[in-house]
Chain A
Amino acid sequence: MPEKRCVTINPAKMCQPLGAIYAYIGVHGCIPLVHGSQGCATYPRYNFCRHFREPIEVGTTSLSEDAAVYGGARNLVAAIRNIKARLQPELIGILTTCLSETIGDDVRSIIKEFEQDSDGVALIAASTPSYVGTHLTGYDNAVKALVETLAQQNGQGNGELNIITGLINPGDINEIKHILCLMGVGNIILTDISQTMNTPIKFPKPHFPKGGTTKAEIVDTANSLGSIALTPVTGGAAARLLNRKFSLPAVLGPTPVGVKNTDTLVENIAWLADKKIPAELEHERGLLLDAMVDVHHYLHGKRVAIFGDPDIVTAITRFVAEAGMKPVAVCTATAGPDFAKEIKAVAQEYDCSPEVLEKSDLFALDEALKGTGAELLIGNSKGKDLAEDHHIPLVRVGFPVYDRVGYFRYPIMGYNGSIYLLDMIANAILGHKYDQDKLHQ
C-alpha cells in the first residue's frame, strides 16, 4: 500500500453546491440560488449543460470583496427579491458555499424577512460548503432541506411511496416509474429530473420545463407509506428525517442495478405498499436473465474496474459479479461504513478480491490498475484518459458524461436498465481487441 498522499490528483468527486443544484433542478418551478461567488453557480451550470445538453438557470448572489468583509445578507435579500420579481418561481432553492459559510452568513435568519410575503414562494435553505463532504453530501442536504421545510402531515395517508433518487439520470427515473406503474404504486419522486433535464423542442418555450417534483408533492411526502432512498448516500438524510419526524418507514438502498438489487427494490416496494408483484415484472426479470445467458461466454472471468459514486459503484460491482465478471478494483472518493462492507459481501459471494479504494482519486486508481490485468473500466467521462492509458475500453455511467451523447436518456437501473448496461459492457468488450472470427454466433 503506497504512502497516503496529501495532494488530490484527478478527483472522483465534486463539491456540495453542484450536488445541491442537482437536487433543486428536479423540483418544478424551482430556481437554485447559490449564495457565494459567481463561479460557484457558473461552474456547476457548465457541467450540467455538458451532461444533459439542456439549458439550466442558476442564480447567484454575486458576493464580492465587500460581502467578504461585511457579510452577504444584503446580496442574498436582493437576489431573492429579484428572482421572485422576474421569474415568479414556486420555490427558490438556496445553497451556501465556502465563502458564505466561512464569513458566517446565517441564511435561515436572513430569509425570515420574507416569511410574511403573500406570493407563496417557498424558500429552502441548504448548508453546502465545498469544504465539507462532496457533491453527494450537497444533494443529501438539499433534499433534506426540502422535506424539512415543506413536508407536512395532513392526517390522511396518500397511499404513495417517496422515492428519493440521488444523482441519477432521467433514464433511471423513468425506469423506476415504470416499475412502480407496473406494480400500481403511486409515488412521489424526490427529486424528479426526468422531464426537467430532458425537455422537448416546443414553441413557445415554456417558462419552466414541464415535470419535476411539485411543491405540493414535497409537502405531501409526510403522508406517504414510506420512503425508499435509491442511493442512500444521496437520499438517506431525507428518508431518515421523514422517519424521525413522521414515523415513515425508511428503506435505504440498495441501488437497483442488477438482478439481486432490483429484486430487493421490487420486494421493498411490494412490502411498503402492500402490493403483489405483477407477472410483467417477472417477465422483465426473465429478459435480463436471458440477456445475461446470451453474453456469458464473452463476460465470464473478464476483469473489470469500477469508479464513481459509492452506491452506484457497489451496485455495479454486484451486477458485474452476477454477470460472471471479476471486479479487480473499485474506487470511490468518499468514505462511508457501507461501501467496503458491501464490496466484501460481493467478493465473498462471488469469490473475487477487488482492491478497494476509498477516499481515493483516479490517480490512485491508475496506480492500482497496474498489474491487475483489468480489461474494462466502468465510470464517468473522467475515466477516458485512464482507460486509454491502460488500453482498455470505458463503459460510461454516472455523472458527468460529456464526451458521448445521450447517456442521460437511458437507464442502468431496474431490470431493463441492467439489460442496457449489460449490453454496453458486452459490446465494449466485443468492440475492443476481440477476435472478430469468434463472433459468428
Chain B
Amino acid sequence: MIEIKDLHKSYKTGASSLHVLKGINFSVKEGELVSIMGSSGSGKSTLLNILGMLDEADEGTYTLDNFPIKNLNEKVAAKYRNKFLGFIFQSFNLINYKSALDNVALPLYYQGVGRKERMDKSFAYLEKVGLADWAHHLPNELSGGQKQRVAIARALASDPKVLLADEPTGALDTKTSYEVMDLIQGINDEGKTILVVTHEDDIAHMTKRIVNLKDGVIIDDSRVNQVRAIENV
C-alpha cells in the first residue's frame, strides 16, 4: 500500500539547515495497523506529513497504492488527499461552526457527492462511532473523546485507502484514549490500513507493528502482539 525508499527531508532555519529525515526505507501492506514512535524531534511528524501529502520530501520516492507521489501541484495533491487519505489530528481540527454531521460530510462535499447521499453517509459513519445522537451538536458541545470520534468518522467518510493519525490520543485522558484506540482497532479489523504517530508506549502496543524513529532514521521496526484496548478500559 505504502512504499517509501530513501526518503530525505531537511528544513532551512536561517543559514543552517536541519536534516530531519535521513534516508527512510519503509513499506506498509494493506490492512496493517502501524505505529510510528519516537521522541520529539525524531522526525515522526515530518514523516507523517509527507505520507499525508501535506509536505514534500527532498529526495526519495513515495508510492501510495501504486501511484507515485512526486511533484504534485496543489490541485492534484488536494484530489489525492481527498481520495486516498483520511486524517486524524491530535487537536481534532473540526470546523467549530459546523455541526458534527456537517463536519463529517465535508470530505464528501469536496468529492462532489450530492447533499442527500452525503448526509446519509455521514450519519451512518457517526452511528458507527457511536455519536448518532450528537449529529447536530457543534464541536464545542462535545467532549474531547467525542470530538475525536467525529474526526475519525470524518476521516472515514471519504472511504480512504489509508488513515493517518497524528497523536490521536495526545489530548485525551487514558480512559478516553483507550476508547478511541478501541475504535481505531475496530476499523483496522475491518481491513483499513492505519498509521498512528504516538510517543506513548501503551498506545503503540495497541497496534500490530511499531516503527521506532530516532534522529531521522528507523532504528527498529518490529511486529508486536497487539493489546486489545477494550481490555484496559
The answer to whether A and B interact is: no
Interface residues of A (CB under 8 A from B): none
The chain B residues found within 8 Å of chain A, CB to CB, are none
